[in-house]
């Protein structure tokens, strides 16, 4: 089900959303949280694009910028639905269908063509309004003053989403989570949109209800030919629902492609890690479980180069060394932690002395061993040159010379932190952004056999 129409219904180009960080009375801007930092993708008519990533990676911000619940900082969101198809750019390069530049009137008519389903059904319905009026309100807002007609339409719609017409006069607290999500779906549908953003529509629901809602979503999408942006952190749900999938990390899309293709043949280590986290029903199947250590770095101060290099299990080694991949990862993590001042040998010494009841019993060797164990650095690195640098760094650390330790460890560098990966096209719209995938790369083999 790959896109075949020439003009996608939605095309996002280099979309950015930065939240300014201000300081002082005068609100001087001192930085920005780059929640979404230049994403681009297309959604074809009738297609579902999945947007996946960990919490905090900017998926929801991307959604609200696309649907213009928040104003984007930069970039274009070109929406060709709702009879806007076929328009071309004007002389100054501005596109008439760019949602981010819509004026009030255009925006209001855009609201009829694009709607959203929210994550938490219990907070997405006004608790003091009957669910019927909540749904019918959209009709009223768009000018349908005939009360009876509104009611008929909404009652019909409630039945279509698997509820009963006389639920119209009930309040949200009278419904279960699954029912509320059906009502939320009815609200998103009532204006007959062409495009729906579903922001984690099933993650707040019980597993037993998820399948029902997902299949309802599927049926409705087919019946009305909806296009959808489906946001989720759950890869197994994405596999069920989406035609294509885009993987987001720290405000950027690291891999995008047909769902089957991406799941079968992931090209970015991050995708690989996410996929390895899907539980499989076959206990005998060998499964490599890739554990991503640490949390998503802060978008206010993202890592240089490839933003994933601080956590990547496949991080590229520099040419000077030849270590096992696992050790190399540990070494870089150790370097970063020392650099940020999170490693404190004195506190290790105290902790050990407390156990041994004697401060003098803890010599430098013990501390070095402790550090090696903690950071999984092995007793001795297989590369003698790397081992001697690490030894120097550990000595310096044990003696409290943090600066020196830092200097020693700075010898370990990776191309990943220096170069920003470019997009590699694997064919058929499958694109990833990883240094390993560059054909001319000298940094070891690509991630997977292509």
Residues that bind another protein (CB under 8 A): 64, 67, 69, 107-109, 111-112, 115-116, 118-120, 122-130, 134, 137-145, 149, 152-157, 159-160, 169-171, 173, 184, 187, 189-192, 224
- Whichever of 110 and 308 has its CB closer to another protein, that residue is 110
- Whichever of 149 and 293 has its CB closer to another protein, that residue is 149
DSSP-derived 3-state class of residue 216: helix
H or E segment at 292? none
Residue 115 Cβ, how far from another protein at the closest point, in Å?
A: 7
> What b/e sequence results for 152-185 when a residue is b if at least 16 CB atoms lie within 10 Å of its CB, and e otherwise?
ebbbebbebbebeeebbebebeebebbbbbbbbb
- Whichever of 168 and 263 has its CB closer to another protein, that residue is 168
Would you list the DSSP string of 135-191?
Answer: HHHHHHHTT---HHHHHHHHHHHHHHTT--GGGGG--GGGS-HHHHHHHHHHHHHTT
Residue 317 Cβ, how far from another protein at the closest point, in Å?
A: 45
Residue 65 Cβ, how far from another protein at the closest point, in Å?
A: 13
H or E segment at 258? strand 252-258
Residue 64 Cβ, how far from another protein at the closest point, in Å?
A: 8
DSSP helix, strand, coil percent of the chain (3-state; round to 5): 40, 15, 45
- Whichever of 52 and 125 has its CB closer to another protein, that residue is 125
- Whichever of 176 and 325 has its CB closer to another protein, that residue is 176
- Which residues fall within 8 angstroms of residue 84, CB to CB, at 6 or more apart? 96, 97
Token couple for 136? 């019918």
- Name which of 388, 441, 386 is nearest 412 in CA terms: 386
- Whichever of 94 and 144 has its CB closer to another protein, that residue is 144
Residue 187 Cβ, how far from another protein at the closest point, in Å?
A: 7
- Which residues fall within 8 angstroms of residue 411, CB to CB, at 6 or more apart? 389
Residue 141 Cβ, how far from another protein at the closest point, in Å?
A: 5
Residue 27 Cβ, how far from another protein at the closest point, in Å?
A: 9
132, 159 contact by CB (below 8 A)? no
- Whichever of 189 and 390 has its CB closer to another protein, that residue is 189
Packed helices 147-160 and 131-141: angle between N→C axes, nearest 10 degrees: 120
Token couple for 108? 């209001």
Residue 180 Cβ, how far from another protein at the closest point, in Å?
A: 10
DSSP-derived 3-state class of residue 301: coil
| d(C-alpha 131, C-alpha 126), whole Å | 8
Q: Give first-to-last CA distance, the chain, whole Å.
A: 22
259, 50 contact by CB (below 8 A)? yes
- Whichever of 195 and 270 has its CB closer to another protein, that residue is 195
Residue 58 Cβ, how far from another protein at the closest point, in Å?
A: 17
- Whichever of 124 and 232 has its CB closer to another protein, that residue is 124
């Amino acid at each position: 089900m790959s896109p075949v129409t020439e003009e996608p219904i939605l095309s996002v180009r280099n979309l950015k959303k930065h939240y300014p960080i201000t300081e002082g009375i005068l609100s001087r801007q001192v930085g920005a949280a780059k929640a979404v930092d230049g994403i681009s993708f297309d959604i074809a008519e009738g297609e579902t694009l999945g947007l996946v990533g960990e919490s905090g990676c900017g998926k929801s911000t991307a959604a609200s910028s696309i649907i213009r619940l928040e104003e984007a900082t930069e970039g274009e969101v070109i929406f060709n639905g709702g009879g806007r198809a076929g328009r071309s750019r004007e002389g100054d390069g501005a596109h008439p269908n760019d949602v981010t530049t819509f004026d009030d009137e255009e925006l209001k008519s855009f609201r009829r063509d694009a709607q959203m389903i929210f994550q938490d059904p219990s907070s997405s319905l006004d608790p003091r309004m009957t669910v019927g009026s909540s749904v019918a309100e959209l009709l009223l807002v768009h000018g349908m003053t005939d009360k009876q007609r509104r009611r008929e339409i909404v009652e019909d719609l409630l039945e279509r989403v698997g509820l009963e017409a006389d639920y119209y006069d009930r309040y949200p607290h009278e419904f279960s989570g699954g029912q509320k999500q059906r009502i939320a779906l009815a609200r998103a549908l009532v204006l007959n949109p062409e495009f729906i953003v579903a922001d984690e529509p099933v993650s707040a629901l019980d597993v037993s209800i998820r399948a029902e809602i997902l299949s309802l979503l599927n049926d409705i999408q087919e019946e009305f030919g909806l296009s959808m942006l489906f946001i989720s952190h759950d890869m197994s749900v994405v596999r069920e629902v989406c035609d294509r999938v885009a993987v987001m990390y720290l405000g950027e899309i690291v891999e995008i492609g047909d769902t089957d293709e991406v799941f079968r043949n992931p090209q970015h280590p991050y995708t690989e890690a996410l996929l390895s986290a899907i539980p499989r029903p076959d206990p005998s199947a060998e499964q490599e479980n890739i554990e991503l250590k640490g949390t998503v770095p802060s978008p206010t101060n993202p890592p240089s180069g490839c933003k994933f290099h601080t956590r990547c299990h496949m991080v590229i080694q520099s040419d000077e060394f030849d270590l096992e991949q696992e050790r190399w990862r540990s070494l870089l993590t150790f370097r970063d932690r020392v650099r940020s001042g999170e490693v404190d040998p004195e506190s290790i010494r105290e902790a050990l002395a407390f156990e041994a009841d004697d401060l003098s019993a803890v010599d430098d060797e013990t501390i070095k061993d402790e550090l090696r164990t903690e950071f999984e650095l092995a007793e001795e690195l297989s590369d003698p040159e790397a081992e001697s640098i690490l030894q120097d760094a550990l000595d310096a650390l044990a003696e409290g010379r943090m600066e020196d330790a830092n200097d020693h460890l700075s010898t370990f560098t990776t191309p990943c932190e220096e170069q920003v990966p470019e997009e590699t096209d694997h064919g058929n719209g499958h694109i990833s952004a990883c240094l390993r995938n560059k054909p001319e790369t000298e940094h070891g083999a690509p991630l997977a056999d292509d």
